[in-house]
Chain A
């Protein structure tokens, strides 16, 4: 039997790895799934009739499936990124994602005050993901499915699991290939974000230059026959208040300029949606917002096919 030690070694390893994969908490492989999701987002060459842009409030807050269900099935894609801003490169990226041959052409922009700041307009995450090397793309896109079987533990975590003292992860997350990150906390804490959101606008106020770039693209797109819709993603009231006081964002003035550039603004009430951390909608609210957005867009653009 032990003449063929090498195959036996790998067989025994598989006999441990496969059951362990199914017994483990899915959140153990969250890091791998997250990397695969982001690489998938930037390497997806398909174009869509409806494209969503923005930051984490959009990629957590908009479910394309629930949008499509109320939008006559026109395919939608969530192309938002972490702490994202409306920089030139990203706006071009949004345009490239749109299927301009479709009879429905809609770009939906989630406008958070932070997305209009100079820091956000560096588009650091977007540029980092789009600039990744081929090896990382291959690894995260294809090899990661095998890698999920072999997610490492760290010693304290392993000790906690073996002793039964570790608690399950509060954070539950599912990455969808349509760009939505379905998120929730088992125990929500809507005051969580406000604790570190205080400093986000220190020497980083909403910038007229960033707004100008966004509006130039808006005017360009509406001139090309593309419907450009804007909305402010709902948050907890504490975050909204913080943004009103510290960000330098004048929503009324922005909406006027946005409409003058040809955009369609859709307001949403904070009361109608819940967040899990103050900043990001939980899964139920995200699904509801997506459906509401589809219905409201149809009402605002009645001549859409």
Chain B
């Protein structure tokens, strides 16, 4: 079920009402069983068949980790089985059509006829919601046990409570077992400030998603639905900046809601987005964007490959591999691979030239480096959003052609999107300059101001929400 759906509001109300009583019973198995049952209900609402996959994936890693711990002589075997199991399920359910299609093309180049893509069984085209997230989360558990930084749990309910916890199950953040499992062991009660802060996160998350992202979406979708009908440069810049904000607010909004829900359970999830468009370099961007995923790739791919410990050339190669795999993680299409490769190119260029540091030393250089970083990120987003390489190249060519005027603002969808784009830019500027108006008030009025601020946000979520769209990252 979607966070921005009425059924989820009902589910959430029932879940937290019952959690209040279950938490008091001091029965860990009951608590974990309740979390698992609720999470499975949440996940199975999409399609009950998805539950078999998460169970299979989970059991592979639960027993794999136990095997690693109990049989140190065979720990590599259990690790390989775990990784193969998880990567294998991704290959089957997410990449089978992509692999088959590319094999067909490869064989066609060699003069052989092949129809693998047409013959991919239907069940392999399902793409279960959240598969990319929970397989990575599950793999991190067995890898951490292998590395000796985590002791595996003996309690299967404890493990599945970690793996399937509904706030982060379908679109992250990818939570490490060593962070979450100790918290799940105790599941302490919450106090009013924690619940208030959790509610703030939830409402801010909804505001980002249903007000900002969903109101910008029609402008972006309208642009991409009619790619070949316009070559207007200002239009495409508007659409792409719109998409940059749409994906940011959509995804960070989901993460905020997840973190807020976790807070209500007495759990702490780390921040997943830290104002990425304030970045002065692409390196900084990746420290601020989808932090749980980028740190996952750093810890479980880049560093095991060798990181920066095997010379500068190898560091670049390992970084390229990591970024390209990261691109492929986002989607089974060459445009995502190109997006990843483009970011790898940017980072390589940064490492070689150190341009952000040099530029920042000049007057106004900090703002210029932020501008350049965002233009480079924007170019990457074109490949991320476009359906094909050809469409992406066409859009980029239009953006830098400087053709066309402003008549596109006559379109009501575009006009509405531009208003919300303006609001989004204003919000980002306010956060960048750390403008906090409530600090101007006497202390005794700040709680009231906080309440008023949240009331306005909540009313905006209700009365200014856009047409409900699925969260973008659900497709991953």
Contact = CB atoms under 8 A, between A and B. Distances in A.
Interface of A: 2-6, 8-9, 12-13, 16-17, 135, 138-139, 143, 146-147, 150-156, 158
Contacts of B448: 2
Contact of B5 (A139, A150, A154): A139
A9 B458 contact: yes
B6 A143 contact: yes
Nearest to A20: B463
Given A5-B196, A155-B416, A156-B416, A13 B462 contact: yes
A12 to B, nearest CB: 5
Closest 8 CB pairs of A and B: A143-B6, A2-B447, A150-B462, A152-B465, A139-B6, A12-B455, A135-B7, A5-B196
Secondary structure class of chain B's binding surface, majority of residues? helix
Nearest to B8: A135
Contacts of A8: 451
B199 interface: yes
B7 A5 contact: no
B464 interface: yes
Nearest to A154: B416
B316 interface: no
B463 A143 contact: no
Interface in B443-476: 447-448, 450-451, 454-455, 458-459, 462-466
Contacts of B420: 155
A156 B416 CA distance: 8
B192 A13 contact: no
Contacts of A5: 192, 196, 447, 450-451
Interface in B175-211: 192, 195-196, 199
15 contacts: A9-B454, A13-B455, A13-B459, A135-B5, A135-B7, A135-B45, A138-B7, A139-B5, A143-B7, A150-B463, A152-B463, A152-B464, A152-B466, A153-B464, A155-B416
Contacts of A155: 416, 419-420, 464
B265 to A, nearest CB: 16
Contacts of A12: 451, 455
Contacts of B464: 152-153, 155, 158
B10 interface: yes
B1 interface: yes
Nearest to B199: A6
B455 A9 contact: yes
A2 B466 CA distance: 31
B122 interface: no
From B7, B415, B463, B465, name the one whose CB has the most chain A CB atoms within 10 angstroms. Answer: B463
A150 B447 CA distance: 26
A147 B465 CA distance: 13
B412 interface: yes
B292 to A, nearest CB: 28
Contacts of A17: 462
Contacts of B416: 154-156
A139 B416 CA distance: 28
A69 B416 CA distance: 49
A147 B412 contact: no
Contacts of B10: 143
Contacts of B195: 6
B357 to A, nearest CB: 42
Contacts of A139: 5-7
A15 to B, nearest CB: 10
B451 A152 contact: no
Given A5-B451, A135-B5, A147-B6, 17 more contacts: A2-B451, A5-B196, A5-B447, A9-B458, A12-B451, A17-B462, A138-B7, A139-B5, A139-B6, A143-B6, A146-B6, A151-B463, A152-B463, A152-B464, A152-B465, A154-B416, A155-B416
A30 to B, nearest CB: 15
A5 to B, nearest CB: 5
A6 B190 CA distance: 14
A9 B7 contact: no
